Amino acid sequence: MYDNTIMNSKSHSNIFNNSSNGNTFYSNKLISANKDGLEIDQDATSKDNVFSNNQVINSASSNSTVTPEIQKRTER
């Protein structure tokens, strides 16, 4: 998945499951005012997926920030 903009997800912006292996998620923008919409999750059956050069943008008020946990998940 390359050069996409994923906006305003109500829950996880992407979920890798059912043995999703060896995918590349590169140069994408995740934009949401909802912290859950900024998450990328990978279940236990999925592995070797690459996440790089992505931007996570919290579009909520300036008082809200992306938590370090969500930032770590997008840097995998």
Does the pTM of the predicted model rise above 0.75? no
Band of pLDDT at residue 1, cut at 50, 70 and 90: confident
Residue 49's pLDDT band, with cuts at 50, 70 and 90, is: confident
Residue-level pLDDT at 3:
87
Helices (H) and strands (E) in the chain, counts: 1, 7
